[in-house]
Amino acid sequence: MKQKQRMLTLMFIDIIVVNISILFSFLIRFEGKIPTDCLEIYYNTFWIITGIKIVLFYLLGMYRQLWRYASMNELVFVIVVVTAANAGVALCFYVAPSLVFLAERNVLPRSIYVLTWLLDILFIGGIRFAYRVYRQFILHDSRHRKFKKRALIIGAGDAGNIVIKELLSHENSNTVPVAVIDDDLMKQGRKILGVPVVGTRANIVEKVKEKKIDEIIIAIPSMTYRERREIINICKDTNLPMKMLPGVYELIEGKVGISHIRPVRIEDLLGRDPVSLDIETIGGYLKDKVVMVTGGGGSIGSELCRQIAHHQPKLLLILDIYENNAYDIQNELKSKFPTLPLKVLIASVRERERMSEIFATYGPEVVFHAAAHKHVPLMEDSPTEAIKNNIFGTWNIIELCDQFGVKKMVQISTDKAVNPTNVMGATKRFCEMLIQAYDKESNTEFVAVRFGNVLGSNGSVIPLFKKQILNGGPVTVTHPEIIRYFMTISEAVQLVLQAGGMAKGGEIFVLDMGEPVKIDKLAKDLIRLSGLELNKDIEIKYTGLRPGEKLYEELLMEEEGLTSTKHQKIYVAKPMDISKEEVTKKLKHLQEILHKNNEYVIQELKEVVPTYRNGI
């Protein structure tokens, strides 16, 4: 109904305008003194002229345009439609006057038609663009006064232009762009849709105060992670909420719009440039293969499933003990990959018979083993559960891979396996020993991939900090000097898949985690990114190192050495000299002590994992 009223209103305005154009053309042509016979012709024919134009306007789509977003394209459209309508009138009057019941005496001078055509473009186009100007500037000013969110846009390129345009155009937007920052000196002092470019990144803090900015929007999708970090680090000093457009590689088809604007995340500060992948190598061992992911509902496992789905497996088997996680990733994959052959199974890697049944039924050819207990403090209090799940669960998968002729098994390991000081790290270290021992005697290629903390994964420090900030604090940090290596989930999984394609068997791949990060600084950055001020809005509380926790993590044991690979972010550790008989003996010993108390179990774990030193 609203659309119909709008169309009728525009038609009514156009009826008036086309007649004003004719009368003005008379005044111009005859210098203000309109001959009586011309006026008589107008009175006899105005309804025909008006009717032809309005009908052609309607048929050519003049009333289907959204003039609030009028731009150069709409101006060209107006010129084309008005030209067609005036040509239609001239055609009827000069070529076939009988079609509209005209006598030759009712034909006007040719100059009148030319002048009318020009005036139609001026008036019809002018009214529509006046509406656009009204919405952009008059309503913009009222919106400017009404809402408190004054935005500083960083980036005066195409993306910044689109963001400004859409923020100004959307009625429901509660954000008003008031200034732009860009490092291009040629753009300084210029305006984008009325919004001035006021300086470079060096002026951000100054301009935020001067312009009374409420939030910052970074609109440079093409910038590198290094550039992104530099800009965010400057913006942090303003203590304002920050939003941004994601990188071009994250945008669907590279298209930019305000719907893509999201809050700045800690990953934007810690992330690195996109990983370079050998798609042919990865696709070669995943395409048309039955691929199993244990722990497929977890943070690492679910991302493995998402990325494997892109490589067209014959069947993707998702195995998890926790049904809710499995259900979530199942629904997500069904939505994103409707043709993906997918099977979700609820099972525990501890249960040998159930796992054997699954291997026999589905015949997996590639297995990614991500199922594990990984919470360090919890495993200190329940070491037997860590041993059952992490060690014996992995042993079950390894033996079944060997028994059923699986081509490749990739074990997800951790930097906590290096000189472990906690139960979880020690169990993961033992899993690496199993991988290397079994690879020597099996046709299956057993490999492990070791990396550090994954940003945003279940149980990681980031979600904990976010909850604490949301609850008003304090944010708890165990020690002001504690450092960790971080990697995004996406990057970690990409490198896991790449390492799997490079594997020949027996390797422990070590991923380049970049520079270590102080957890204390991470907490402070998160507080600032949330638009809060440290020690004013929220505090940091130091709680002391937890049992089994290191001040720093190591990615590589000294005695292992390090060999580079063809991928600049993947390295290989020197294999351990351990036999299947040795690990089997250690496994039997662990089985015998599972019923003992925690202290005894931890002491015996040191015997089977020589590098384990708890309490360090």
Catalytic residues: 416
Q: What angle, 0 to 180 degrees and rounded to 10, lies between the N-to-C axes of helices 352-362 and 393-403?
A: 30
Question: What residues contact 436, with CB distance under 8 A and at least 6 apart?
Answer: 446, 448, 506, 508, 575, 576, 578
Please name the helix (run of DSSP H) or strand (run of DSSP E) that holds residue 463, with its range, or none: helix 461-470
C-beta of residue 386 within 8 angstroms of C-beta of residue 423:
yes
Question: Cα 566 to chain center, whole Å?
Answer: 28
Which segments of 60-109 does DSSP mark as H helices, in order?
A: 72-90
Going by the DSSP 8-state scheme, the letter that residue 1 receives in this structure is -
Question: Cα 580 to chain center, whole Å?
Answer: 44
Distance separating alpha carbons of residues 264 and 566, to the nearest angstrom: 33
Distance separating alpha carbons of residues 81 and 69, to the nearest angstrom: 18
C-beta of residue 542 within 8 angstroms of C-beta of residue 480:
yes
- 3-state DSSP call for residue 231? helix
Which amino acid, one-letter code, is at 584?
T
Distance separating alpha carbons of residues 524 and 602, to the nearest angstrom: 35
C-beta of residue 482 within 8 angstroms of C-beta of residue 516:
no
Within 10 Å of residue 331's Cβ, how many Cβ atoms? 11
Name residue, tokens 């001035």: 196
Which amino acid, one-letter code, is at 363?
G
In a 10 Å sphere around its CB, with 0-12 CB exposed, 13-18 middle and 19+ buried, how is residue 31 labelled?
A: exposed
Region label for 516, one of left (φ > 0), alpha (ψ between -120 and 50) or beta (otherwise) = beta
Distance separating alpha carbons of residues 154 and 202, to the nearest angstrom: 12
Distance separating alpha carbons of residues 76 and 389, to the nearest angstrom: 69
C-beta of residue 264 within 8 angstroms of C-beta of residue 243:
yes
C-beta of residue 244 within 8 angstroms of C-beta of residue 151:
no
